[in-house]
A = this chain, B = another copy of it.
Amino acid sequence: MGSTIALADGEAAGGAEQPAERPPAWPHRHLLDTDVLTWPQIELVLDTADVMAEILARRRPRSEVLRGIGVTNLFYEASTRTRVSFEVAAKHLSADVVNVSVTGSSIEKGESLLDTIRTLESLGTRVLVMRHATSGAPYLAARELRGSVINAGDGRHAHPTQALLDLYTLRRHVPGGSLRGRKVVILGDVLHSRVARSNLWTLTAAGADVWLCGPSTLLRGFEVWAATGVAGARRFTVTSDVEAALRDADAVMALRLQQERMAAGLLPSVHEYQARFGLTTERLRLAREGCLVMHPGPMNEGVEIAPDVAAGSGSLVTQQVANGVAVRMAVLSLVTSVGVRGPA
């Protein structure tokens, strides 16, 4: 099996140590989820993010890559970190950035999503960064927009830049720089987590041994998927046994517990969740020494993650946020390199 073919196959290719013989092309005008990314494409994002990180380290962190290009942050859900991260990333690339949030916009008047997309495009939006409470909404936008749509989180479906920045952060801190064979645990409310879903694709593509762990009510449907495998091949483990999951783990990703889950009857109480699934120092002793700890934020400290774990030596929470800017610069630069769709 030649290396070019191997590189097109995530399972077989795995780590970063195998350089591509020719630079892999980036074919995606949109980034809606990580499921369509081949391993070489994922590596291209990570390598481009390295270049962006170097730019960010400069005294004046500015590139001209998106000069003259209109980027609109269209957020139908509240967000600080993701909106600011994309705004800062786009400005570092010299884009013309406009923020549109649901409050204070005519979207309150009941304008349809498609009408909004068409309007923003006519106003000069070339890249639409979009967060929406409805799973799939960015796919609708992508069918309409001639430019690029980047999914900044849609319902419980996907959050691809979060998964890419998680992978980027893990690779920089895991010994040897490869996740091949490393045990990575995603812990918590997997059911409602777009972060978990997008991470499944990237982590298994990187060859990690992925475990999903949480209360059984918050894992529904994932056992079936685990049996089939991601991309029909790459398998992962699903369990409610937190000790089995954490044992010998190389990295743990704690998910935010949405307090509104209680009302839906999916969880008995925050206290019980914390007692059974909270990521504490004691539980973390089951993992390998130096186990890396991640959280997509915002954290409920004392609920899904103990404050001393969040602030502990293995915690990468701060690095995740910082790396997010570099990864989003990379994604912005890659999707715009494809150009726009020609008129129908």
A residues contacting B by CB (< 8 A) are 56, 58-62, 67-68, 70, 72, 75, 78-81, 83-85, 87-88, 91, 96, 98, 100-112, 115-116, 118-124, 259, 297-301, 317-319, 321-322, 324-325
B80 and A322 contact, CB distance less than 8 A: no
Instruction: Tell me which of B91, B108, B324 contacts A78 (CB under 8 A).
Output: B108
> Which residues of chain B come closer than 8 Å to A102, judged between CB atoms?
104
The docked-state distance in angstroms from the alpha carbon of A8 to that of B286 is 58
> Which residues of chain B come closer than 8 Å to A319, judged between CB atoms?
122
B325 and A123 contact, CB distance less than 8 A: yes
| Most central of A80, A83, A116, A317 by chain B CB within 10 Å | A80
The docked-state distance in angstroms from the alpha carbon of A321 to that of B117 is 12
Q: Output the nearest chain B residue to A298 by Cβ-Cβ distance.
A: B111
Instruction: Tell me which of B56, B61, B81 contacts A119 (CB under 8 A).
Output: B81
Q: Output the nearest chain B residue to A116 by Cβ-Cβ distance.
A: B80
A104 and B106 contact, CB distance less than 8 A: no
The docked-state distance in angstroms from the alpha carbon of A123 to that of B324 is 8
> Which residues of chain B come closer than 8 Å to A107, judged between CB atoms?
78, 80
B75 and A68 contact, CB distance less than 8 A: no
Min CB distance A100 to B, Å, is 6
B67 and A124 contact, CB distance less than 8 A: no
The docked-state distance in angstroms from the alpha carbon of A56 to that of B123 is 10
> Which residues of chain B come closer than 8 Å to A109, judged between CB atoms?
78, 298
> Which residues of chain B come closer than 8 Å to A325, judged between CB atoms?
123-124
A299 and B61 contact, CB distance less than 8 A: no
Q: Known contacts A119-B297, A123-B81, A298-B111; decide if A88 and B70 are in contact (CB<8 Å).
A: yes
B301 and A112 contact, CB distance less than 8 A: yes
Min CB distance A260 to B, Å, is 10
Q: Output the nearest chain B residue to A118 by Cβ-Cβ distance.
A: B318
Q: Known contacts A84-B120, A84-B123, A298-B109; decide if A78 and B104 are in contact (CB<8 Å).
A: yes
7 CB contacts below 8 A, A to B, read: A59-B68, A62-B68, A79-B106, A80-B107, A106-B298, A111-B297, A122-B324
Q: Output the nearest chain B residue to A101 by Cβ-Cβ distance.
A: B104
The docked-state distance in angstroms from the alpha carbon of A213 to that of B258 is 50
B67 and A80 contact, CB distance less than 8 A: no
A88 and B78 contact, CB distance less than 8 A: no
Q: Output the nearest chain B residue to A91 by Cβ-Cβ distance.
A: B96
B100 and A84 contact, CB distance less than 8 A: yes
> Which residues of chain B come closer than 8 Å to A116, judged between CB atoms?
80, 298
> Which residues of chain B come closer than 8 Å to A103, judged between CB atoms?
103-104
The docked-state distance in angstroms from the alpha carbon of A291 to that of B112 is 25
Q: Known contacts A108-B78, A109-B78; decide if A88 and B322 are in contact (CB<8 Å).
A: no
B78 and A105 contact, CB distance less than 8 A: yes
